[in-house]
Amino acid sequence: MSGADKSHLPEARGQSAIVRVALAAAQPIAEPLVAILLALLVGAIGIALLSGLVPGHSALDVGLPIAAYGALVQGVATPNGITSTLVYATPLILAGLGVALGFKAGLFNIGGRGQFLMGAVGAMTVATTVGTSQSSYIVIPLALLAGALFGAAAGFIPGFLKATSGAHEVVTTIMLNYVFVSVTYWAISGPLALPNAHQPITADVTTRNAALPIIIPFGHDGHLGILLALLAVPVLWFLLYRTTLGFEIRAAGANPDAARYGGMKTNRLIVLTMSIAGLMCGLAGATTIMGVVHQMEPGYDTTVGFDAITVALLGRSNPVGVLFAGLLLGAMRAGAQTMQIQAGVPAELVDALQAIILVFLVINVLRRWLDRRAANPGTRSSAGVDAPQAAEGVA
Amino acid sequence: MTEDAARSEAPALEMRGITKRYPGVVANDHIDLDLRRGEIHALLGENGAGKTTLMNVLYGLARPDEGTILMDGKQIQIAGPSDAIARGISMVHQHFMLVPVLSVAENVILGAETMSNAVFVDRHEASRRIGALAERFGFDLNPDAKVGSLSVGQQQRVEILKALYRDARVLVLDEPTAVLTPNETEEIFGLLRRLAGDGRSIVFISHKLYEVLEVADRITIIRRGRVIGERRPSETTEEELAELMVGREVELTVDRGESHVAGPVLVVEGLRVADDRHHEVVPGATFEIRAGEILGVAGVAGNGQDELVQALIGLRRSTGGKVTLAGRDVTGFSPRRMNEAGVGYVPGDRQRFGLILAFPVYDNLILTSYYRPPFAHGLIRNDSAILESAAVQIERFDIRTPSARASSSTLSGGNQQKVVVAREFDRELKLLILDQPTRGLDVGSIEFIHRQIIAKRDAGTAVLLVSAELDEVMEMSDRIAVMYRGRIVAELDGRTADKSEVGLLMATGGHEQATTQEEVRA
């Protein structure tokens, strides 16, 4: 009887192995690419449907989307456009890395907005206090450090709350955003305000030896922060994949029970990860203030903290993916003005495209989450526990 | 059965030359299967042999690349599950498809509602009809009970009831006993026999030999997508079935030899443990294990074994008592400190505690030692050392994986467990704690893991084996402790213990011990 089996491996195996390897390699980027292409398609349909609103175009002008996207690309494909792309991408990459790190650890950090602002306030605090008395060789590193630490502190709080009381980070980071927005308002209109100004406003960092030096000679604002963002990518990658801490973070994110059994202190990891995530978002804030904005008014705010979620999802929480996602969204912002001028399509289309990308990405996140729930119906399945893993798409 | 008799009894369903290819694998390779009326036909094969694919073809979930299906002699095409159901083919999956907040009756009629008029479902009529159906086949089910409140065994019966309500003539059960207790297994067997007696055909998918021998009328053995043979239970043995299934001779009974017992390694005194809801489920366990012996803990699942083991390994805080390992007080040690003290642990739920499925095999092999040289120097991982060690363990523990970098989720259950075993066994151990080490595994993997356990014991390790499989405990243990409601109610010698005696202790905790022992001796 045992002779009946002659280990008959299917002959087709050799051929399809190549195909399978290729598919496996393409798989991680296929999903973001599809999301981007679908968003562009939906955007094109939207432009065509509304083309009658653009002067000089008839309704349902199929040529307009092509013209608009063409102008978008044109706006990016110039020396100035490339610099703008990098400038826009810098905070997106830094904060995107912070959010992505959270995803890796199974944490959904929606506190990017507050952490960004605290980073900005931290940098501005250094500029205001020591900026007049020290050279920029001291002020700039100090301001960046302060921004990073303020951001880390803003991330530490929700991490600490989760580790000690189990308070869910989605809830606490959202709530803390309001706190930090208020803290920022208070800091800028109070301690950081320029004395004798008509309205509350901070000093200009350029007058306080805290402006980041320009490292790209063409275009606007090609500041040192760009280099920082590009360097952060390999640093975070190394942290995640080449250190024991990164192993612990990924393990705790992928399976907290197994991580605990493996001897990892999961609570400590939560605090640490949230702090590092906050640090990255704080750096995004600090570099933005020191490299681009220069001066803050009390109502200062950006969408970077939330855009970073899109960047992290689009980059599938991988630092290299985050780099490309940040560059893509940065490029879209860089080309938006040219598109508005040349094709007459409002620059806000870019916001819409970004939102549509997010929708398509979230559909996949949800699908994976539901699959996971269907696969292990008995296990803990609150959205908060699984959603970041689904977001990361490791399954 | 003679040829003539077989011919006179036309099959209710025939599958001829079914071939199903997936990229890189032929899951079904020209499989022939026929089902007669009123028979329980077991489909036996290792995990990944192609049983489930074949049944998915029958249920319309997969389209065969080749082959035909005949029902009552006529060729049919099954377009999908609803088509299969309409033709009287129903399937009970391993994972139930039930809505927990709905009642039994509501779950049963879901998708096949009896309407009182065009809009409303007639619940009373449905409840009455389902009650009658349940009674006819001897189901112990209240049609108005919420499914979420039922035990796993009862939920399974709801699934079967669903099939019967749709008048299934062919009922496929995919590893129905995997989730059941021994008692529930007996009950489901009784039920299946009644259904067969009613003229229905039942396909029983399993890789458990004794079950197949007990319940089936015919057994078809599948290996690597091919039918290897067909047997009747009366004509075959577990040994032969195992050999057909695995493709080589398998030793079903472990030759565990003499144990060379030395001094006590683990001493547990009055250990108290509470569950997640703060109920004290282990109100004081006292036992010891000596070097070179296997202490088997027998008990019906849910009698505090999980909590006891988790407390011993440091995953759960004990509320009282003392644990000593080789003379050292280790009470309240964390999992890492226990690990460093020389304790290996194979968790009962390997996918929850034992492995990070999303991680590659090599990362899972260092899950408890990733921070130690040679795998890390300070904060920096040493990937070449990790991969090197992984390659050695994959070889030594016969882990079937395309590569060390393959995601652990792509491995079969047996190979996943081998990853855990490799990680936990491959060093010097004082104590080895095994929680259901072979649950859900096929005979080949079970044999392998049992051998590794014996080898560990012979090397002088104290072994604690917790298993809901009484056979496993009986076979492997030098001593048997019976756990009932969190207490060790009896300790028996593994060589002389009697299975029915242990079974009774498990079920009653020894309240009827005196009478039964007399009965056994009489």
Distances (CA, A) of A145 to A168, A228, A304: 28, 12, 20
A15 located within any domain: no
Per-residue pLDDT of chain B (522 residues; tens, 9 = 90+): 444 444 446 788 999 999 988 776 788 999 999 999 999 999 998 877 888 889 889 998 888 999 999 988 889 999 888 889 889 999 888 777 888 888 888 888 887 665 555 566 677 877 888 888 888 888 778 888 888 888 777 888 898 888 888 888 999 998 888 777 777 788 889 889 999 998 999 999 887 888 889 999 999 999 888 999 999 999 998 888 888 888 877 766 777 777 788 889 999 999 999 988 888 889 989 999 999 999 999 887 778 888 999 999 998 999 999 999 999 999 999 999 999 999 999 998 888 889 999 999 999 999 999 999 899 998 999 999 999 999 999 999 988 888 899 889 888 788 899 999 999 998 899 999 999 898 878 788 888 899 999 999 999 999 999 987 888 888 899 999 999 888 899 999 988 888 888 888 887 777 644 444 434 443
Backbone angles phi, psi at B435, to 5 degrees: -110, 110
Let me know if the fold of B3-246 is the same as that of B259-342+430-522. yes
Contact A66, A245 (CB under 8 A): no
Residue position matching structure tokens 């129903």: B90
Helix/strand/coil percent split, chain B, to 5: 35, 25, 40
| Statement: residue A14 has pLDDT above 60 | no
Domain of residue A93, CATH code: 1.10.3470
**In this structure, what is the dihedral angle of CA atoms B450, B456, B461, B462, given to the nearest 10 degrees?**
0
For residue B346, list its beta bridge partners. Answer: B434
Could you tell me which chain A residue has the CA closest to the CA of B365?
A262
A6 located within any domain: no
A191 confidence band (pLDDT: 50, 70, 90): very high
CA distance A395 to A31: 14
Whether cis (ω within 30° of 0) applies to the bond prior to B374 is yes
A14 located within any domain: no
A17 located within any domain: no
The radius of gyration of chain B's CA atoms, rounded to the nearest angstrom, is 25
CA distance B325 to B12: 61
Residues on chain A bordering chain B, Cβ-to-Cβ distance under 8 angstroms: 1-2, 4-5, 8, 10, 12-13, 16-17, 19-20, 241-248, 250-251, 254-255, 257-263, 374, 376-377, 379, 389, 394-395
Backbone angles phi, psi at A210, to 5 degrees: -115, 5
Candidates A250, A261, A371: best to mutate against B (most CBs of B within 10 A) is A261
Sign of the dihedral defined by the CA atoms of residues B346, B350, B356, B361, in that order: positive
Alpha carbon B328 to its chain's center? 36
What tokens appear for B136 in the block? Answer: 């006819």
For residue B89, list its beta bridge partners. Answer: B170
Cβ separation A258–B380 shorter than 8 A: no
Domain segments of chain B as ranges? 3-246, 259-342+430-522, 351-427
Contact A369, A355 (CB under 8 A): no
A12 located within any domain: no
Compute how many other C-beta atoms are within 10 angstroms of the C-beta atom of residue A385. 13
Domain span at A45: 29-52+62-370+387-392
Contacts of A203 (CB under 8 A, 6+ apart): A124, A127, A128, A131, A192, A194, A295
A363 located within any domain: yes
CA distance A173 to B406: 36
Contacts of A195 (CB under 8 A, 6+ apart): none
A381 located within any domain: no
Whole-prediction pTM value? 0.76
CA distance, residue A5 to nearest chain B CA (Å): 7
A184 located within any domain: yes
Helix/strand/coil percent split, chain A, to 5: 75, 0, 25
- Residue of A67, A82, A360, A106 whose CA lies nearest to A258: A106
- pLDDT at residue number B138: 80
Which residues from A are below 8 Å from B351, CB to CB? Answer: 376
Q: What is the pLDDT of residues A69-78, one digit of tens each?
A: 999 999 999 9
CA distance A349 to A321: 24
Superfamily of domain B259-342+430-522: P-loop containing nucleotide triphosphate hydrolases (3.40.50.300)
Compute how many other C-beta atoms are within 10 angstroms of the C-beta atom of residue A323. 24
Could you tell me which chain B residue has the CA closest to the CA of A379?
B352
**In this structure, what is the dihedral angle of CA atoms B296, B301, B46, B80, given to the nearest 10 degrees?**
180
Cβ separation A8–B29 shorter than 8 A: yes
Contact A150, A119 (CB under 8 A): yes
Task: Give the CATH number of domain B3-246.
Answer: 3.40.50.300
Could you tell me which chain A residue has the CA closest to the CA of B383?
A242
The conformation of residue B327, written as its DSSP 8-state character, comes to T
Q: What is the pLDDT of residues A78-88, one digit of tens each?
A: 999 999 999 99
Backbone angles phi, psi at A190, to 5 degrees: -115, -105
Cβ separation B226–A5 shorter than 8 A: yes
- pLDDT at residue number A152: 98
Question: What is the count of structural domains for chain A?
Answer: 1
Nearest to B23 among A1, A8, A16 (CB): A16
Q: What is the ipTM of this complex?
A: 0.80
Nearest to B358 among A10, A19, A395 (CB): A395
